[in-house]
Amino acid sequence: MAVSTEIQAPRSGRIAPEYTRHGRSKGNFEMGAWLFMRLSGVVLVVLIFGHLFVNLMVGEGVHAIDFGFVAGKWADPFWQVWDLSMLWLAMLHGTNGVRTIINDYAEKDGTRITLKTILYVASAVIVVLGTLVIFTFDPCPAGAAAELLPSFCQA
């Protein structure tokens, strides 16, 4: 049988109550989330491809990565802002994406609420931790062996 590929216009208007999994209207939140997924996606392509290229393809690739490498990058505000934007956008994008998936598959209210609570707590912890790491980073910690540190620490 030939499969028809004509796509019908989506049904618009009110969704019958038995097909919604939440009680009240969520206003424009879902629309904002939908738009955010697309805008953040475009920016993330640049940020993540750049991150992978610089860390895996340039010079010795993965072999170059150590404390001194990270210290060298974060000495430059450019890479601090790069990583901070990547952290926040990727985590918000990923958290929202996983939220959608939980809403799709977890049909019981209890399961859904539990899973989403775990998701939000885990995401918040990671975003706060990642942000603190970038802002409180010390490239020349006292007491560390000099050969592990970037060369500018001797100055």
Partner 1 sequence: MSKTPAGTLYRGREGMWSWVGHRVTGVAIFFFLLVHVLDTALVRVSPDAYNAVIATYKNPFMALLEAGLVAAIVFHAFNGLRVILIDFWKKGPKYQAKMLWGVIGLWVVVMVPFLIRHLSLAFTGGH
Applying the rule CB under 8 A, the residues between 18 and 57 that interact with partner 1 are 38, 41-42, 44-45, 48-49, 52, 56-57
Q: What tokens were used for 81?
A: 């802002």
CA 55, 49, 137, 96 torsion-angle sign:
negative
For helices 77-105 and 67-74, what crossing angle results, to 10°? Answer: 100
Tell me whether residue 108 is exposed, middle or buried, using C-beta atoms within 10 angstroms of its C-beta: 0 to 12, 13 to 18, 19 or more: exposed
Residues 6+ apart with CB under 8 A from 37: 93, 96, 97
Report if residue 124 touches partner 1, rule: CB under 8 A. Answer: no
Task: Give the binding site for partner 1 (CB under 8 A).
Answer: 3-8, 38, 41-42, 44-45, 48-49, 52, 56-57, 60-68, 70-71, 87, 90-91, 94-95, 97-98, 101, 122, 126, 129-130, 132-133, 136-138, 141, 144-145, 148-149
Task: Give the binding site for ligand HEM (CB under 6 A).
Answer: 37-38, 41, 44-45, 48, 51-52, 55-56, 62, 65, 70, 73, 79, 83, 86-87, 90, 93-94, 97-98, 100-101, 130, 133-134
